Structure 1
Amino acid sequence: MKALIVDDEQHVREAIRLLTDWRKLGITELLEADNGQTAAELIDAAHPELLLTDMRMPIQDGVKLLEYAQKNHPQMQKIVISGHTDFELVRSTMKFGGQDYLLKPIDPTQLSEALTRAVASWHQAEAERQSNHKRSMQMNQIKPVYWDKVMSGLIANPPEYPVRLRSQLIDEFGEGVTEECRVAIISLDSAADAILNRFLDNRDLLFFSLANIANEFLRRSNRGLACRNWNSDQEVLVLVWSRTEELPLLLRQISDGILQTFGTRLMIGVGSTEPFPAGAARSAKEARTTLLLRNMRVKNRWIHAESEPSGASRMLRLTDSTELFRVALLSGRREEIAKAVGSWFTAVQELPCITWEQVLSWSEEWRALLAKLRRTRHGSDLGADEAGERQTERCIPLHADGSVDLGKWADEFSASLEQLLGEQERCQREKGSMKDIARYLEEHYSRDLSLQDIADHFYLSREYISRRFKQEFQENLSDYLGRVRIGKAKLLLQNPNLRIVQIAEMVGYPDEKYFSKVFKKLEGKTPGEFRREL
Structure 2
Amino acid sequence: MMAMIRALIIEDEQPSREAIKLLGNWEKYGIAEIDEAENGREGLRLVAARRPDLLLVDMKMPEMDGVEFLRRVSAEHPECVCIVISGYDDFEYARTAILSGAIDYLLKPINRHDLNEALAKAAALIGRRKREAGERIDQGIALNLSLPKLKETVFLRLVEDAGGVTPTHLSVIGADKPAEYQVAVFCLLNMTQVRREKFKGDTELFRFAVANLLNELELDGVNCFSFANPKSAREFILVLTLDPARPHGLRPDIEGLLKEGLDRLEKWLHLVASGGVGRPVQSHTQIRDSYLAARDLAWSANLAETAHRPIWAASAAEQGSPPPLIGRMPLIRHGLEEGNAAYAAAVVSDYVAEIRKAGRLSLAAADRLLDDFATLLHELALDLGVPNGWQPDMRSAGHDPDMPYDLTSLKQFESAMQDLLADFADYVRRTVKSAARFHVSDIKAYIDQHYNESIRIHTFTEKYYLSREYLMKQFKQAYGMGIYEYVQKVRMEKAAELLRDPELKIQDVSDLVGFKDKNYFSKAFKNHFGLSPTEYRSKEQNATFLP
TM class, shorter-length? 0.3 to 0.5
Q: Which has the larger radius of gyration?
A: 1
TM-score between the two structures when normalised by the length of structure 2: 0.46
TM-score between the two structures when normalised by the length of structure 1: 0.47
